[in-house]
Every structure is written in structure tokens, then in C-alpha cells.
């Protein structure tokens, strides 16, 4: 998207006692909006979670590592899923792309109302045997508060996070972005207190964005540039690495019975990628081959079990 230049910055402050991220993400949020054809409140929710994903993903170290953020709720949107890597690539989808509900009492898009009560699940797949899974109840449904609560509760890392998505007229993105600031273990109380003071003066991220502040300027504002060191500037984008091979693997996980059923129906099977909408079709011969593979795989699994 030529109109937007999405990127994030990674920074430290107070001699490494504070680590910080800030991002501008309007381009990737607009791309998500176009792919999923979301209504405004869903655009806002997905945009906030994508922005969080970009920054949280950057905490991982390896190119293969994958972060998944999943929100499940009892509201009309039902939830959202976002995945991100460590290099600024992010993608996601809402469970229900079109939700039309009245604005909240502040006159803003009612993201919490669209999501409802539920849970936030954070899955970090760091290439170990088992991914690390953490889950918390949603404390607000406005996403930023829920993620801060997750870090405080599940990982014991005091975290301040702001996420904002601002629409031009009807449903076209004007700006989106956010910041994420964490206190590292051993951070002295006076540093924490100073940061709290600064954060009290922060109105909202959308306010920063509306004023055209860059990620660097947002961090300079919150952290005072005296000790701030910006270490990286990373382009970020909506990226889906799907391929027929990957979709095949997903098909294999549905199991032999379902595959047989698809074959029996005799039609080519068309699957579309949840993240980017790209369509993949499998004709009869391909399904038969898959069925063969799936049979073999369950046989192997059985053998492992004994």
C-alpha cells in the first residue's frame, strides 16, 4: 500500500530497565479490512489486535517462531485470531466480519460490546516441543487492557499498552498504531513510578496518531528522550504465507472420515484461506491421493502409540 508506510520501532530506556515498542499500522489494517470486508467496529478490533501482534511478535527471536493471539467472546463478533512472526509480518481474521452495533457511551466504536465476555489466549510457538500457551479472562474487551492484564497476570511483566485505529469517513482507515512498554525484572521502584506518572498524562493513542506523531515521537513523549535508545526500525506488513501444500496439511488434519465424505460428494473441494481469502481447489484425484496419505499417517501414529 503506497499511501501508508507501516513500521515499528524497538527501543530501550533507563539503561535497559524498560523495553518499548511503537508501531504505525494503517496500511496493514486497511489491507485486513479489504480482505475481510469488515464493518467499522470489527476493523477497529482486528486493527488493534494486529497492531498488538506486530509488537508482541517482535519479542520473539527466531524467524520460525510464531505468535498467535486469539480472543473468544460471547458478543456478536465471537472473536478474532491474529498470528505474527518476529519480523513484522502479521495476519488475522475476525470470526464474524460484519457486526453492526450502536456506539458505546463515549460515542466510540463499541469493540468491547462486539467481543463480549470471554478469554484471551496467547500461544507462543518457539520451535520447542510444545508451544507455550497462556490464557486470561477478558477484563475489558477493549483489547489493550486485556493484553496488559495478560502480561501482568500470566507472565508477571508489568506492561503498558495503547492501541488505536482511526477511521476516515465511513470505513476507510485514517491511521492505526500503538505502543507497548514493559518493565524488566529488577526495575527500580523510582523508574516504575516515573513511568506511571508519564503514562497518567497520556490521553489516548488515537490522540497521538491524529496529531501525526510517529512511533519514535510517541516513545519520546512517553519515555522522555533522555535515556531512550531506539535500536531497530522494522517495516511491518500484512503477510499470508499460505500455499496449496499448507492447505493440504490442514485438510489432512480433518481426518479420513471427512475426506471420504468429500470424495463421495464427487465435487471438487474448494477451500479458502482464513487469513487472505485465497481459494484452493482439490479435484477428485488429489483427494484420493490425500486420503491415501491420511490413511498412512494414522497408521504411523498408531504404531507410535504402541
List contacts with Zn ion (CB under 5 A). Answer: 240, 242, 273, 275-276, 278
CB 169 to Zn ion: min, Å: 29
CB 242 to Zn ion: min, Å: 3
229 versus 239: smaller Cβ distance to Zn ion:
239
CB 38 to Zn ion: min, Å: 17
**285: Cβ contacts below 8 Å, ≥ 6 apart:** none
82 versus 148: smaller Cβ distance to Zn ion:
82
Residue corresponding to grid cell 520451535: 127
Q: Which of 100, 96, 118 lies closest to 109 in space, CA to CA?
A: 100
Which grid cell sits at 128?
A: 520447542
263 versus 269: smaller Cβ distance to Zn ion:
269
* Torsions phi, psi for 47 (to 5 deg): -60, -40
38 versus 159: smaller Cβ distance to Zn ion:
38
133 versus 250: smaller Cβ distance to Zn ion:
250
36 versus 70: smaller Cβ distance to Zn ion:
36
d(CA 141, CA 113): 7
**How buried is 271 (Cβ within 10 angstroms: 0-12 exposed, 13-18 middle, 19+ buried)?**
middle
Which grid cell sits at 300?
A: 504411523
CB 277 to Zn ion: min, Å: 7
* Torsions phi, psi for 18 (to 5 deg): -125, 130
CB 184 to Zn ion: min, Å: 36
State the Cα torsion 88-170-203-190 to the nearest 10°.
Answer: -20
**41: Cβ contacts below 8 Å, ≥ 6 apart:** 77, 99, 100, 101, 109, 110, 111, 113, 114
Which grid cell sits at 216?
A: 519514535
202 versus 242: smaller Cβ distance to Zn ion:
242
**282: Cβ contacts below 8 Å, ≥ 6 apart:** 248, 251, 268, 269, 270, 271, 290
d(CA 199, CA 221): 10
Which grid cell sits at 30?
A: 486497511
127 versus 241: smaller Cβ distance to Zn ion:
241
C-beta separation of 288 from 269 below 8 A: no
CB 127 to Zn ion: min, Å: 22
CB 94 to Zn ion: min, Å: 15
CB 7 to Zn ion: min, Å: 23
Amino acid at each position: 500500500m503506497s499511501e501508508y508506510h507501516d513500521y515499528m520501532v524497538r527501543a530501550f530506556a533507563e539503561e535497559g530497565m524498560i523495553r518499548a515498542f511503537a508501531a504505525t499500522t494503517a496500511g496493514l489494517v486497511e489491507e485486513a479490512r479489504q480482505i475481510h470486508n469488515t464493518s467499522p467496529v470489527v476493523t477497529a478490533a482486528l486493527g488493534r489486535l494486529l497492531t498488538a501482534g506486530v509488537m508482541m511478535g517482535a519479542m520473539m527471536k527466531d524467524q520460525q517462531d510464531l505468535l498467535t493471539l486469539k480472543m473468544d467472546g460471547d458478543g456478536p463478533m465471537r472473536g478474532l485470531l491474529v498470528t505474527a512472526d518476529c519480523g513484522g509480518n502479521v495476519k488475522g481474521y475476525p470470526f464474524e466480519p460484519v457486526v453492526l452495533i450502536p456506539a458505546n457511551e463515549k460515542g466510540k466504536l463499541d469493540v468491547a460490546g462486539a467481543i463480549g465476555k470471554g478469554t484471551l489466549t496467547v500461544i507462543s510457538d518457539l520451535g520447542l516441543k510444545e508451544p507455550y500457551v497462556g490464557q486470561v479472562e477478558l477484563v475489558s474487551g477493549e483489547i489493550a487492557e486485556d493484553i496488559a492484564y495478560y502480561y501482568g497476570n500470566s507472565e508477571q511483566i508489568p506492561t503498558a499498552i495503547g492501541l488505536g485505529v482511526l477511521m476516515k469517513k465511513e470505513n476507510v482507515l485514517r491511521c492505526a498504531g500503538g505502543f507497548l512498554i514493559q518493565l524488566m525484572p529488577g526495575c527500580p521502584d523510582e523508574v516504575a513510578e516515573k513511568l506511571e506518572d508519564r503514562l497518567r498524562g497520556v490521553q489516548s493513542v488515537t490522540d497521538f496518531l491524529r496529531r501525526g506523531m510517529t512511533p519514535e515521537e510517541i516513545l519520546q513523549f512517553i519515555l522522555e528522550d533522555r535515556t531512550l535508545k531506539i535500536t531497530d526500525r522494522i517495516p511491518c506488513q500484512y503477510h499470508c504465507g499460505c500455499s496449496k501444500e499448507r492447505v493440504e496439511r490442514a485438510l489432512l488434519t480433518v481426518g479420513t472420515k471427512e475426506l471420504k465424505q468429500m470424495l463421495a460428494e464427487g465435487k471438487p473441494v474448494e477451500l479458502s484461506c482464513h487469513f487472505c481469502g485465497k481459494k484452493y481447489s482439490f479435484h477428485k484425484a488429489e483427494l484420493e491421493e490425500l486420503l491415501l496419505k491420511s490413511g498412512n499417517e494414522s497408521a504411523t501414529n498408531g504404531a507410535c502409540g504402541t
